[in-house]
Amino acid sequence: MFTKNFWILFGLFILPLVLYVLLLTGTNNFAKLPVVTETIKDVTAFKTKDSVTIYLKGKITILCFLGDDLQSVKNNALNLNQKIYKHFYKFKDFQFVVVLPEGTQEQALKLNKELGVITDMQKWNFVFGNHQDIIELFSSLKTSYQLAPNGYSPYTFIIDKEMHLRGRTDDESTSGILYGHNAETVAPIHNEMVDDVKVLIAEYRLALKKNNREI
């Protein structure tokens, strides 16, 4: 039978020590967003409206393929803008990259203006390439998804600074690997993608703090 003094000592000294050890363990085992595809192709071969070269390397990138009819898939962009971009664009190394076929520059400009009414668009990047370039980039993701003939995919992908595709390896909805999030409806973005982006950003922030402590 434990005495009153024991419980006082337990509350004052032992319990805080146990909680501290658990906290350290949790930090060391910090959840990371799994890499599901190693190093994909960069987008340096793609053109931009102002001839600025866009890189995936060194950025946390939300990558999407919106095809040649932006008005028909504008809802995808709106969903991503509201649920992802607005929450994370102030993170220093964060960007959106929208891959489009050559000839859709005017459509991209129109979409940019529409979103720009309610959004700071500085980290939305529209890049343009030929059919083969788009196929090769999408294929480098090595997913189980299919790209439509017009260069469209409903799925949006999270790319880390090392150009690895991040996703889930134990996803309940797919009974396996989740490579990307369907942007046609809000639910997958709100319920899954927001959390995944949070985890990846927290991973880099934790690494930055660790590096600063070691310097």
Q: What is the pTM of this model?
A: 0.83
Whether residue 1 is found in the same domain as residue 76:
no
What CATH number has the domain bearing residue 91?
A: 3.40.30.10
Q: What is the pLDDT of residues 44-97, one digit of tens each?
A: 999 998 888 999 999 999 999 999 999 999 999 999 999 999 999 999 899 999
Closest CA to 104 of 136, 72, 82: 72
Count of domains forming the chain: 2
As a whole number of angstroms, the distance between CA 99 and CA 63 comes to: 8
Let me know how many helices (H) and strands (E) the chain has, helices first.
8, 9
Which residues make beta-bridge pairs with 61?
A: 95, 159
Q: Each residue's pLDDT tens digit in the chain (215 positions)? A: 556 555 565 555 555 444 433 433 333 334 799 999 999 999 999 999 888 899 999 999 999 999 999 999 999 999 999 999 999 999 989 999 999 999 999 999 999 999 999 899 999 999 999 999 999 999 999 999 999 999 999 999 999 999 999 999 987 666 689 999 999 999 999 999 999 999 999 999 988 787 665 53
Residue whose entry in the numeric block shows the structure tokens 């668009």: 121
Mention every residue, 6+ apart, whose C-beta is less than 8 A from residue 31: 199
Domain span holding position 13: 1-30
Whether residue 119 is found in the same domain as residue 39:
yes
Whether residue 70 is found in the same domain as residue 113:
yes
Whether residue 12 is found in the same domain as residue 39:
no
Mention every residue, 6+ apart, whose C-beta is less than 8 A from residue 100: 66, 67, 68, 70, 107, 108, 126, 127, 128, 129, 151
Whether residue 78 is found in the same domain as residue 12:
no
Whether residue 109 is found in the same domain as residue 136:
yes
